[in-house]
Structure 1
Amino acid sequence: MRTHGAERAGPVRSVPGAGGRPDPYGPPWRGAEERSTPLRPPPRRPRSRRRKRRRPVRRLLLVLLAVLLATPLSTYAWAETRLNRDVDLGAYGHRPPPGEGTNYLIVGSDSREGLTPGQQKDLHTGGASGRRTDSMILLHTGASGTTMVSLPRDSWVTIPSYVRPSTGKRWGPAKNKLNAAFADGGPELLARTVEYNTGLRLDHYAEIGFAGFVNIVDSIGGVRMCLDRDIRDEKSGADLKKGCQTLDGTQSLAFVRQRHQEADGDLGRTLNQQKFLSALAHQAATADTVLNPATLYPALSAGLDTLVVDRGMGLRDLVSMVRAVQDVSGGKGKRINVPVSGVGIPTPKGSAVRWDEEKSRRLFERLRYDRPV
């Protein structure tokens, strides 16, 4: 506890008449009765010398301040130029009107770009060319909080009419699985299909491939996950034990891709993907990563190398998206699946997932007006 006396500058001096020596630096009248001649204050150093001594310290502080300010700014400028803005969300037109809040479509693709044949074998990715959707999450953030809605890739939806780039012919509208939209028309048709079936206008799109996913996880030292059971899946290569552990990039990719041990198949996998994405965002936003250039630059480089975003997305939008995902991991949001009425239903395109028409309509309507889910 501080006292009023503690607020005075300078050393504590003895008080005349209290058994101590007189204060040699006090006013000349103090302790006059105890000394025969007045005491003079010690000579002061020339002001110019004091200023000269302060200059190196000031310069050092200015240099440190410049480094602290320049590092984030230089990182920001560098990352801003690395964003691959290839996706035109308005390519197919006829978009829903803007709603309240912000909507992101986060896509994990099975792109093998950046992987050697040996890495493809180790990661159990197969050798298919091109890229297809492996996971899709609709992220909504606004005044009423953040909601992550997983959209199963086998969702039986209506793909609106479009012109196939390879042939120039118009197709649709037609019923098909959601991931068929990506396979036929890329990110633009996928975004248009999501908007068509949800009534939500997408503000931004972000997609990352296998290589970027693995490299990001490895660059931040892995992701801490707690599993409630053993997981073994030969298809994805997952071989994980029950309990809390740190997953490296290869183990993480196997975890988010496995679905053969899930009771609900693709629905169970989507919840695992949400859980992992939240943990990844939380880990990437820690001080150990953000304030450490040796970790920050590799993590950013790993993600930006295979990240594909829409033309209107800047680094600030990307950071807002990651923060929203981090909020969910901190308990400030919800992770849900789109309401379904059937799983594994037979269709001309194989077994699929059917959305519950009434419940899904109510969900997307609440998101459109930024109401609590």
Structure 2
Amino acid sequence: MLAIAGLVVVALLAWPIGLLVWANGKVQHTSALSGAPNTPGTTYLLTGSDSRADGSVGEDGTEGARTDTILLLHAPTSGPTALISLPRDTFVDIPGHEPSKLNAAFSWGGAPLLVQTVEALTGLTVDHYAEIGMAGVEQIVDAVGGVNLCHDADVHDPDSGMEWAAGCHDVTGVQALAFARMRKSDPTGDVGRAERQRQLIGAVMGKVDPAQLLVRPGQQVALIDAGTGALTVSDGTGIIDMAKLALAFKAANGPDGITGTPPIASIDYRPGNGVGSAVQLDPDASPSFWAAIRDGSLPPGPVGGMPGA
């Protein structure tokens, strides 16, 4: 009996250790961080990328790889954790280039230039970068058994593939991806898309119950396989860091967290020089907003959104 008990203890210890080693070996890495001096707390930059290796041009005028999802997740040393959506069309200064939309930084210089641009915009040093191939969203949603999402309008959007009857629905990975991508049929544009993306993230996190995962090793493997297969993270970022990222996500989406956008002045800003329609952040309110995010001094709750809302 003692021998059997000993084997059970060894198995219980070996499984999570082996799982951790296996998962760490599957993580893909890239050189993304700028090496800028650290700022207080821990800051994660999260993107969803679509490869355009065939040279085709996206609706925003970018070529090559592009990102429609840019999220800044900040866990301060004290105070609420914040998950802030940065609209891809935000008009910003891009190091070494003319000012343009934030998405252009990723298209022109990949993760390193996007990190530098976000750091210059926010004053926060990015500690960890994570990029998910948008096709990986399907795999992750399917790995958790689908999610329930809500949208209060009927949608027929050929560009994203979103077909929706107003209300809440259980969806698969394909439908969830269309839900997160849709923009043209939303009068609030990038702001509305960012809200749906955060809703999707919250729905996925809500389906991941650690207590249930402990007794479902098959689901553990499926989730890790889907997540690591779709993810590319900055050099030095491992499974433990990604677990901390997941905990920060949960905290930001909980009752004591902060979610939303930076203060927006206009969603149809026309700076000229071929940029087209862009999102203009409020130049007066933004500096103090980013300082409060860094210091953890903002109260919990939603922030930003449509101008004047």
TM range (shorter): 0.7 to 0.9
**Percent pairwise identity:** 37
| Matched residue type, 2:26 | R
What's the counterpart of residue 191 of structure 1? 115
| Matched residue type, 2:287 | R
What's the counterpart of residue 302 of structure 2? none
What's the counterpart of residue 166 of structure 2? 242
What's the counterpart of residue 295 of structure 2? 369
Comparing both chains, which one has the higher relative contact order based on Cα–Cα distances under 8 Å and sequence gaps of 6 or more?
A: 2
What's the counterpart of residue 57 of structure 2? none
User: Aligned-residue CA RMSD in angstroms?
Assistant: 2.1
CA distance in 2, matches of 1:191, 1:89: 7
User: What TM-score, normalized by structure 1, do the two folds share?
Assistant: 0.73
Equivalent residues in 2 for 1:1-373, closer than 5 Å: 57-90=1-34, 95=36, 97-111=37-51, 130-142=64-76, 143-161=78-96, 172=97, 174-289=98-213, 291-346=215-270, 347=272, 348-373=274-299
| Matched residue type, 1:82 | K
| Matched residue type, 1:140 | H
CA distance in 1, matches of 2:221, 2:26: 12
In structure 2, list runs of 5 or more residues that go unmatched.
54-61, 300-309
Q: Is the 8 A contact 1:154 1:177 kept in 2?
A: yes
Structure 1 residues 293-324: Cα deviation after superposition (integer angstroms, max 9, x where no partner): 21111111111112111112121110111111
Q: Is the 8 A contact 2:80 2:252 kept in 1?
A: no
Structure with higher Rg: it is 1
CA distance in 1, matches of 2:64, 2:137: 17
CA distance in 2, matches of 1:156, 1:330: 30
| Matched residue type, 1:182 | F
CA distance in 2, matches of 1:209, 1:284: 20
Offset, 1:130: 4.5
CA distance in 2, matches of 1:222, 1:328: 22
CA distance in 1, matches of 2:32, 2:188: 34
In structure 1, list runs of 5 or more residues that go unmatched.
1-56, 114-127, 162-171
CA 311–187 in structure 1, closer or farther in 2 if over 3 Å, else same: same
Offset, 1:290: 5.0
Offset, 1:242: 3.0
CA 303–187 in structure 1, closer or farther in 2 if over 3 Å, else same: same
CA distance in 2, matches of 1:292, 1:195: 40
Residue aligned with 1:186, SS: helix
CA 291–105 in structure 1, closer or farther in 2 if over 3 Å, else same: farther
| Matched residue type, 1:225 | L
